[in-house]
Structures are given as C-alpha cells and as structure tokens.
Amino acid sequence: MDRSRWLHLPTLLLAVSFARPAFAGTSPPGVNLRWDACYADGGARNKNFACNTNDGQDQLVASFEVDQIVGPVVTEEITIDLRAASAALPAWWQVFNAGSCRPLALDFVPFPSSDPSACEQWLAYPVGGGIAAYTVGEQGPEHVRVGAAIAMTTAHAATLTPGHEYFGFRLTLDHTKTLGAGACAGCTTPVCIFLSRITLYAPNNPTPLISLDHGANYLGSQYVTWQNGYPIDVQRECDPAAPACAFHYTSFDCVLATPTATQRTTWGAVKALYR
C-alpha cells in the first residue's frame, strides 16, 4: 500500500501539534473504536485471527460523538495507545517505522468504506491525512503511541451537531509476513488498543474546539482487543506534555482475558474514573 497517497496537505498537518493546550470536552461526548465496522453498525470489540495466512487484512473503524455544536472543523488530530500482553512489542506489531519487521502493514484511511453505515461522513474533498508517528516504548517496551491527523481546506470546513455518530478514520492491518520465510513473530500475542483522544480544530487556530478522550457510550466503546486481550489497571492520566492537565490519555496494562484478569478491574471502578 502506498501510505503517501493520504499525505496531500503537508502544510496543514505540520501545523498540528500532538501536545498543545486544549479545551477539555465533557463526557459524554466521546470516541468509539471497533473492528470491521462503526460502533453503531455492530463492529466487533475483539478480533481473533488464526495467524494462518499472509493474505487479507483487518480493519479498525473509529467514530466520535459531540454534545454541542462544534465548528467550523478542518483538522482532526488522533492519539492511539496500543499495548501487548508481552515483555516487549512483538515483531508482528512493528508495522510502520522503516527497518521494522512489517513496515507497510498498517495503512491510514480518512474515508469510510463504500458500504452503508450508521456513521455519518463529515469529511469533504480535498482531504489529506496520515500517521505522523508510531512511537514504540514511550510507556514501556510493549507499548506504542500512534499519532495521526486529518485536514481539510478552509473551504470545506464542517459544523458538527449532537445526535450523530461521526466517522473518524480507518486503519487497515495487513496480514503480510505472518507465515513462511521472513515471518514476523507475535501474531498470536494478545493486544489492547485504546483510541485515547480525538481533538478537533478550526481553521488557523491552535486552540482546540473540543478534545474527546472518553468512550462515547461507555469505556468499552473506546477500545478494542486482539486475540482476547483484556485491559487492566485502566487509568485516566494527564498528558505531561500539556500544561495544567489540558490533555488526557488512557493508561492501561494488557493481559490475556481470563476470569482472574477480569476480576482485577470492575466496570464500576473503571467508570468512576470518567465521572
């Protein structure tokens, strides 16, 4: 896949910082992340792959909801946190940086699929976007923080309103190098993936219109798992790069889902973090 096809607006994207002061949104609203389809379309929270083929791909679909009129919006800034249930990030999940095991396996798509969807498309042409950073080890050797952005020209600014689930972006994860010569180990390792934050910006303004860092429906709508991963010790943290706790992210550990693991963090305890 040619990742560069989505990098059409470098000037706008370079203006996006992943650690600037933000207006913190309330909860609700928030974000959703699912496999295969939007949250409202019944997308899956867990994905099990037999790791028996190099063909095909899996798809992550993000969406978000607002609780007030937000606009005009031209830029969507994205932060994703991924953690494996292993001592270090498996080679199979080294999917972006040059010299990694599968550097072309992850692709960022700022448009929904052609299938009918409950998620509303608000992005308009011309649009540019892409992954700006895939940083391994920021919170431990098994952790990745992904930074991405989508931008439109001012002429195509959008105004968002409550009562809609808006399409956010898609990530496609290729199965290449799963089997055979040169295969990358770790496909079967459980992984947890949180959509930590979507932040929306108006034209030519570094102050966010709104920053969404909660699950739009409940905490479980904010994350997905791979191979029966299960997030534990979930915490809502202040981003140390943003002054006065203006930005937040979700910190967590990831384990294989078992009865013991699920007892460590009750939904009631986790929901209390978001009140």
Name the residue ranges covered by the structural domains of the chain: 3-272
Q: Is the pTM of this model over 0.75?
A: yes
- What lies within 8 Å, CB to CB, of 263 at 6+ separation is none
pLDDT tens digit sequence for 226-238: 999 999 999 888 8
- What lies within 8 Å, CB to CB, of 185 at 6+ separation is 90, 91, 92
Handedness of CA 207, 118, 218, 141 (dihedral sign): negative
- Partnered with residue 151 across adjacent β-strands are 75, 128
Q: Please give the Cα distance from 10 to 129 (Å, whole number).
A: 8
pLDDT tens digit sequence for 142-159: 999 999 999 999 999 999
Averaged pLDDT, 240-246:
76
Mean pLDDT of the chain: 85
